[in-house]
Amino acid sequence: MAPVQMTLLLGIGIALVCNSSYDPLLACLGISVLAYVATCALIPRLGPDFVRVGFSGKDMGKKDRPLIPETMGAVCAVVYLAAMFAFIPLLFYKYYVTSTSGAGNREQGVDAGIEMLHTGRQLRLFPHSKLAEYLASLLSLFSMLVLGVADDLFDIRWRNKLLLPGLAVLPLVFTYYVDFGVTQIALPASIYRLLFPDSPPMPTIVDIGALYYAYMFALAIFCPNSINILAGINGLEAGQALVIAIFLLINDAVYILPGRVLGISPIHPATEAHLFSTYFVLPLIAVTLALLKYNWYPASVFVGDTFCYFAGMVFAQVSIQGHFAKTLMLFLMPQVFNFIYSAPQLFGLVACPRHRLPKFNPETGLLEVSKVTFEAAKSPKGLQKLLLSTFSCLRLAKLDADPKTGAILASSNLTIVNLVLTWTGPLREDTLATVMLGIQAAFCTVGIVVRHTVVPLLFGRDNT
Q: Are 37 and 6 spatial neighbours (Cβ–Cβ below 8 Å)?
A: yes
Element housing 376 (H / E): none
Residue 146 clears pLDDT 60, i.e. is over it? yes
Please name which of 98, 382, 56, 332 lies closest in space to residue 218, comparing C-alpha atoms: 332
Q: Distance between CA atoms of 356 and 112, rounded to whole angstroms?
A: 67
Judged by phi (left if over 0) then psi (alpha if -120 to 50, else beta), residue 232 lies in left
**pLDDT per residue over 337-374, tens digit each?**
999 999 999 888 888 887 889 999 999 999 999 999 98
Encode pLDDT of 286-302 as tens digits.
999 999 999 999 999 99
Going from the C-alpha of 248 to that of each of 381, 450, 454, the distances in angstroms are 44, 14, 18
Contact partners, residue 443, CB within 8 Å, separation at least 6: 330, 331, 333, 334
Q: Kindly report the CA angle at 242 between 237 and 248, in degrees rounded to 5?
A: 130
Report the distance separating Cα 84 and Cα 97, nearest Å: 20
Q: Which amino acid is at 105?
A: N
pLDDT computed for residue 12 by the predictor: 96
Predicted confidence at residue 289, as pLDDT, reads 98
**Alpha carbon 128 to chain centroid, angstroms:** 26
Residue-level pLDDT at 176 = 86
Helix (H) or strand (E) holding 418: helix 416-424
pLDDT above 60 (res 2):
yes
Nearest CA-CA partner of 141 in 218, 85, 70: 85
Q: What is the mean pLDDT of residues 375-388?
A: 83
Verify cis geometry, omega within 30 degrees of 0, for the bond prior to 203: yes
Residue 100, pLDDT above cutoff 60? no
**Whole-number Å distance between alpha carbons of 333 and 220:** 16
The predicted-structure confidence for 396-431, as pLDDT tens digits, reads as follows 999 998 888 888 999 999 999 999 999 999 999 999
Helices (H), 296-332: 304-322, 325-331
Question: Using an 8 Å Cβ cutoff, are 327 and 251 in contact?
Answer: yes
Judged by DSSP in three states, 371 sits in strand
pLDDT at 95: 66
Higher-pLDDT residue of 404, 140: 140
Tens digit of each residue's pLDDT (9 = 90 or more) over 106-138: 444 444 444 544 444 454 566 777 888 899 999
DSSP 97-145: HHTSTT---TTTHHHHHHHHHHH---GGGS-HHHHHHHHHHHHHHHHHH
pTM for the whole structure: 0.90
Look over the chain and give the mean of its residue pLDDT values, rounded to a whole number.
Answer: 86
Beta-bridged to residue 371, according to DSSP, are 412
Q: Helix or strand or coil: residue 240?
A: helix
Confidence tier at 240 by pLDDT (50, 70, 90): very high
Helices (H), 263-398: 271-295, 304-322, 325-331, 333-346, 383-393
Mean pLDDT highest for which of 111-125, 215-229, 237-251, 319-333? 237-251
pLDDT at 112: 45
Q: What are the beta bridge partners of residue 372?
A: 411
Distances (CA, A) of 321 to 11, 157, 272, 354: 32, 30, 11, 35
What is the bridge-based pairing of β-strands 366-368 and 359-361? Answer: antiparallel
- Phi and psi for 359 in degrees, rounded to 5? -90, 130
Query: Band of the pLDDT at 193, cuts 50, 70, 90?
Result: low
